[in-house]
Amino acid sequence: MLNPQVKPRVNKAQTAVETAGVKHSMNPFDELSIEESVRIREKKSYPNGVTDIVAFTAGPPKSADILRTAMAMGADRSIHVETKDGDEIEPLGVAKLLKAIVDKEKINLVVLGKQSIDDDSGQTGQMLAGLLGWPQATQASKISFEGDGKGVVVEKEVDGGIETVKGCLPMVVTADLRLNEPRYASLPNIMKAKKKKTEKISAADLGVDVGRRLKTVKVIEPPPRQGGGKVEDIDGMISKLKELGAI
């Protein structure tokens, strides 16, 4: 995804955000999922032990940089479904690719970000759980395991406080911002990540159709914000709101 620190620009055709020459970075919610996976192994919180942490992405060749960051954070290896520059995959397409990877790798726990922060769809985790027929827990702020390792307890922040849900492996969990504080990839770990394996495959190799089902009609930048004004009292505020058509 685009670096969240960079102000996005709409392309000349007004069909999407301009991506050429713009630095990309890992989605912050996905950073949380990588960090949590590594912490589960480091803290030995999963009784049966974590044997393999696989990072996954679907995107153009430069997406490999994101996978190297994930491996520098502690992922053991990665899988890159390569696409052409400019090709966008909808949440359903990503979910189908993930299902194919889960089936291929015999994975029993998928931890991913609750949403991307460029289109804010927030759909991939839920769609993946539906395709797999697995239980799901979204917006996790804490993940723990019950004694036998099959039970997964997930806490999530809701308007009224903390909601706790329980499920059994295999399971899909999506990460919220309170889950953890992602580590910085140190230089030694970045160097070690270069020796870790990245498997490059295509959607066709997995037998998945990632064709778009939605059409973007138009993308425009938001109008510039207007300056504020001061009023002397409540009556003045009401008059101003009526003048602006707000009431």
Q: Closest Cα to residue 57, out of 21, 20, 83?
A: 83
For residue 208, what are its two tokens?
Answer: 């998945």
Sheet holding 171-175, edge to edge: 109-113, 171-175, 136-140
Burial of 26 (0-12, 13-18, 19+ CB in 10 A): buried
Domains of the chain: 28-243 (3.40.50.620)
Q: Is the N-terminal amide bond of 170 cis, ω within 30° of 0?
A: yes
Confirm if 143 and 152 have CB atoms less than 8 A apart.
yes
Our measurement of the distance from residue 109's CA atom to the centroid of its chain's CA atoms, rounded to an integer in Å, reads: 15
Query: pLDDT tens digits, residue range 181-208?
Result: 999 989 999 999 999 999 999 999 999 9
pLDDT at position 55? 97
Tell me how far apart the alpha carbons of residues 186 and 195 are, in angstroms, rounded to a whole number.
Answer: 15
Q: How confident is the model at residue 183, as a pLDDT?
A: 93
Contact assessment for residue 121 and residue 38, using Cβ atoms and an 8 Å cutoff: no
pLDDT per position as a tens digit, 68-124: 999 999 999 999 999 987 788 999 999 999 999 999 999 999 999 999 887 788 999
pTM beyond 0.75, yes or no: yes
Q: CB within 8 A of 229, min separation 6: which ones?
A: 240
Higher pLDDT, 95 or 12: 95
Give the Cβ contact number of residue 239 at 10 Å: 12
Query: What is the C-alpha separation between 113 and 55, in angstroms, rounded?
Result: 12
Collapsing DSSP to helix, strand or coil, 138 comes out as strand
